[in-house]
Structure 1
Amino acid sequence: MAKKMLVAYYSWSNGNTEKIAEQLADACGADLERIETVEPYPEDYDQTVQQGQDEVNSGFQPEICLFEHDPADYDVIAVGTPTWWYTMAPAVSTFLAGADWAGKTVVPFMINGGWPGSVIDDMFDAAGDAAEGPSLEVRFDSTGGSRQETPQHEIDQWVSSVKCLL
């Protein structure tokens, strides 16, 4: 019996995380869910950077909107995040903390501008009871833009390894 897969991701500014999430979901025939905070972040980049740093430093987990798809209905859940202060975005921390990971496989992927920090390890830790699937780190230009620096073939190889889980 084929396993069901959900790709959940958080993306704030350039849509880089969304781009990778869409590639994975399309290739795997997975459902796609964007993680949204109930209280939106400021539109101003510098204000969001400051708020994000404060939230990461304090361990704050913002309330997130309900999903259209129930993660409990899936066997494999890919989770994507941009890097915020060397770890996952607070909204992703909320999502990981609020899900029951027993019997699931988590497939973390993260986007960074050259400072990956401990994102992948933090995501695996937060999904405690989950089996660990293949992870991916994708680097985009360090100016906060949308120029992908990780070669596409590395992403394609990762996608293929994730498809093997299904």
Structure 2
Amino acid sequence: MIVPITGNVTYTITLDPTVWIFDDRKILLDEAFDLDSEKEAEKDSLEKAADRFSQEVYQQNLKPPINKSNKTISRNEGQKFLENSYVMPIATFLGYAEIKENADHVTLETANGEERIPLETLKASYLLFAKDGKPLKEDGPVHLFYSDGSNQENPIKGIQKIIVE
């Protein structure tokens, strides 16, 4: 259930979509292609990042250190996680891998072969990692949706490895 990002990168990284359900960067699939929701989600994301930064600064000044993951999940939030489908923007992870300047394409190794797409298309794409609150076991671990929604009916399924070229 992991997806390595390898190839023309400074750091080979491994994505673990099974833990993304608790990640604040996830987006509801239903809202991923709605531009207004995307702008609102970006604003919320920036506000959450600012709050996390403030909390980190505050916690660093406390003695003794406290648990940094002290956010609890309410029962309603937990139930919501188990009912909805979610996507994760892949751009952040590509930043962690530090793609080299001469890279321009990506090969997606899937259970059914390979798919080659432009790097810029991948940077603006989403990875579906949970459908109806459950990991994608049969044709997963992730599906790729283009940000423009052009492949909503036919995403790239069964992605097992991302090779930057």
The answer to whether the superposition gives a TM-score over 0.5 is: no
| More strand by percentage | 2
Structure with the larger RCO, 1 or 2 (CA within 8 Å, 6+ apart): 2
Which of 1 and 2 has greater Rg?
Answer: 2
Please report the TM-score for the alignment, with normalisation by the length of structure 1: 0.26
